[in-house]
Amino acid sequence: MEIKYIDIHSHLNFKEFDADRGEVIARMKEKGVATITVGTSLETSESAVALAENHDNIFACIGIHPTEIDEITGMTAHFPRQHFEELVKRPKVVAVGECGLDYGREGDIDEKSKETQKILFRQHIDFAAQHDLPIMIHTRNSAKDILEVIAEKKKEHGDKLRGNIHFFTGTPEEAQAYFDLDFTISFTGVITFARDYDAAVLAAPLDRIMSETDAPFVAPLPYRGKRNEPTYVIEVVKKIAEIKGVEEETAAQEILKNAVAKWNLVW
Ligand SMILES: [Zn+2]
């Protein structure tokens, strides 16, 4: 199939798609959309890989989301290394994550929880560097610490440490700090209905930007409030093009080209 758009972060493996996943994937194929489907636990990492292996236009990312820590081990960071060593050998695995730091709505979680999350985050970074894979980072009210951990780990891993800040909602300055560390940023459907990120979209060079949906969450206009799906990434690309004042086709081609290179996508 011809791929024209890329949604670099979806959870097509989640239960929200159990009833009609085949139809969702058929729509992707019809519109030329590919996606990286992202694990947030051991279980959903496995289901992401299984799904990717059944479809040319689906790739997988394996990791433990920082908010999963509680559920898994009751505040002890646990990285399922042995399982992941097995999973990472599968050819459709293109990245490690989503991993990172989630300091909650107010950014006011306690220091011990922050430290536990940092341990798990560093384990993902080391694992990704060992396997020479990019990482998919989740950050919520934690940009300062994310930048600090990446900068510290850069000294150890050099160019092998690279990746993307998913669901970027920061300032142009914050975006630049990530670019300086060899990271890209991805925008979601939020940019279709909130004007707060136009400055960041405008300032970021096209070769540093990725498009994503984070489906089933946060559908873009005109689907706002409904379940999101990878095909809706077309609306995100349209908006990026509009904000930057470039042709939609140019934006789509550039973004796809970047993604293919950075995530080493082959289909
Ligand atoms: Zn996600």
Q: How far is ligand 1, taken at its centre, from the CA of residue 165, in Å? A: 11
Q: Is the confidence at residue 73, as pLDDT, over 60? A: no
Residues 30-59 have pLDDT tens digits of: 999 999 999 999 999 999 999 999 999 999
Helix (H, G, I), strand (E, B) or coil at 229: coil
Whether the CB-CB separation of 38 and 10 falls below 8 Å is answered with yes
Q: How far is ligand 1, taken at its centre, from the CA of residue 136, in Å? A: 9
pLDDT confidence bin for 72, thresholds 50/70/90: very low
Query: What local confidence, expressed as pLDDT, does residue 98 receive?
Result: 97
What's the rounded Cα separation, in Å, for the pair 208 and 164? 9
Distances (CA, A) of 96 to 35, 111, 117, 122, 137: 15, 25, 16, 12, 9
Burial of 114 (0-12, 13-18, 19+ CB in 10 A): middle
Query: What local confidence, expressed as pLDDT, does residue 218 receive?
Result: 96
pLDDT confidence bin for 75, thresholds 50/70/90: low
pLDDT confidence bin for 76, thresholds 50/70/90: low
What's the rounded Cα separation, in Å, for the pair 164 and 175? 11
Q: What percent of the chain has pLDDT over 70?
A: 97
Q: How far is ligand 1, taken at its centre, from the CA of residue 41, in Å? A: 11
Q: How far is ligand 1, taken at its centre, from the CA of residue 10, in Å? A: 6
Q: How far is ligand 1, taken at its centre, from the CA of residue 217, in Å? A: 8
Residue 7: left if φ>0, alpha if ψ -120 to 50, beta else—which one? beta
Query: What local confidence, expressed as pLDDT, does residue 37 receive?
Result: 98
Helix (H, G, I), strand (E, B) or coil at 15: helix
pLDDT confidence bin for 77, thresholds 50/70/90: low
Q: How far is ligand 1, taken at its centre, from the CA of residue 99, in Å? A: 9
pTM (global) more than 0.85: yes
Strands 58-62 and 93-102: parallel
Q: How far is ligand 1, taken at its centre, from the CA of residue 214, in Å? A: 5
Q: How far is ligand 1, taken at its centre, from the CA of residue 59, in Å? A: 14
Q: How far is ligand 1, taken at its centre, from the CA of residue 168, in Å? A: 12
Amino acid occupying residue 82: Q
Mean pLDDT of the region 232-259? 98
Distances (CA, A) of 112 to 65, 103, 118, 152: 17, 11, 10, 20
Whether the CB-CB separation of 12 and 24 falls below 8 Å is answered with yes
What's the rounded Cα separation, in Å, for the pair 172 and 189? 18
Q: How far is ligand 1, taken at its centre, from the CA of residue 137, in Å? A: 9
Residues 141-158 have pLDDT tens digits of: 999 999 999 999 999 999
